[in-house]
Homo-oligomer: A and B are copies of this chain.
Amino acid sequence: MHRLTRDHIVYSLDKAHPPVLTIDPGETVCLETYDARTGTIQSDADLLDHPHPKGANPATGPIFVRGAAPGDSLAVTILKIDLADRGFLAIKKGVGLLAHRADRYATKMIAIRDGIAHFNDRIRFPVRPMIGVIGTAPAGAGLHTGHPGPHGGNMDNNEIKVGARVHLPVAVPGALLGIGDVHASMGDGEISMIGFEICAEVTARVDLLRGETIPRPWIETADGRWVTTGDDPDPEAAMRIACDEMVTLLQRRFGLSFEDAYMLVTARGDLTICQACQPGSFPVTTRVSFDPTCVT
């Protein structure tokens, strides 16, 4: 099994970054990931009142997958997410869906013991680890790891957790995979902009699907559902993309008419907000979940 330490991080998914690891398709990697502020938040006094010098959300990588070529896709199966023993939640003044009420900065370091997060003496909850950033390098200009897009990136999608098989487009030779921004817990919507940010180790198997061209990421879940994704600064457009992807996936996989697929997704597909911390100015991310076992 390959291993990458968190010394090897990037702040963009970019074909210009030289790979720090080369693997064969089907191999497993263990990646140390940094929290979204690269370890700079260590106490409740460390407020998010200044930009990180290199930007937020570093991804560990990039990983070159031998033989991966534009038009292929990767299928990254998340085998394990080991969390550090503490992370943080935070509020940024004037930021998030409730920006109008967020009149000051606040940071809270949170310890995790035996899978339980200790928010304070009164509040404890089980963690639900997920991966915020996973993606490949786009064909054109690099994209900051804070941003989502057709290459993946900062999707903040709660379905990207242990057991998930994440399909990612390959746009450049070797794919140049990066993974980071693990959350110990993040509600759908990530409404304040800052999830329960934490360092972690992610173990994943990377398969190559030759010739399987996909326009953007989608996910097979451990319980057999399919999940399509969308992103756009306009929430309506972000929702439309994920829905269109699911309807198109059902048409292609099952040979359904548009009308049948549209009716089916209306009746059985669940549209959810992944991240909506700054609609309008920052891409909203969305997903649609559908259980395909209803079609034979």
Contact = CB atoms under 8 A, between A and B. Distances in A.
Given A236-B235, A295-B122, A188 B262 contact: no
Nearest to A258: B101
A243 B279 contact: no
Interface stretch (A64-72, A159-167, A266-274): A266-274
B262 A187 contact: no
A154 interface: no
Given A262-B91, A279-B236, A189 B96 contact: no
Interface stretch (A13-21, A30-38, A192-200): A192-200
A275 to B, nearest CB: 9
A270 B188 contact: yes
Interface stretch (A102-110, A142-150, A202-210, A212-220): A102-110
B89 A268 contact: no
Interface string A238-253: 0110011001000000
Q: What size tier do the contact residues of chain A reach?
A: 35 or more
Given A91-B263, A123-B260, 10 more contacts: A97-B240, A98-B243, A119-B263, A123-B294, A123-B296, A125-B268, A186-B266, A189-B266, A191-B243, A236-B276
Nearest to A248: B101
A263 B192 contact: yes
B244 A101 contact: yes
A250 to B, nearest CB: 10
Contacts of A262: 91, 96, 98, 101-102, 191-192
Interface of A: 89-91, 96-98, 101-102, 104, 106, 108, 117, 119-120, 122-125, 158, 185-196, 235-236, 239-240, 243-244, 247, 254, 258-260, 262-273, 276, 279-280, 288, 290-291, 294-296
27 contacts: A89-B266, A89-B267, A96-B262, A96-B266, A101-B244, A104-B259, A106-B263, A123-B260, A123-B294, A124-B294, A125-B268, A125-B294, A187-B266, A187-B269, A187-B270, A188-B269, A191-B265, A191-B266, A192-B262, A192-B265, A192-B266, A193-B266, A195-B266, A195-B267, A239-B273, A239-B276, A272-B272
Nearest to A102: B262
Stoichiometry (number of copies): 2
B236 A280 contact: yes
A273 B272 CA distance: 6
Contacts of A280: 236
A186 B265 CA distance: 9
Contact of A235 (B101, B239, B265): B239
Contacts of A276: 236, 239, 271
B191 A98 contact: no
Contact of A272 (B123, B188, B194, B196): B188
A185 B244 contact: no
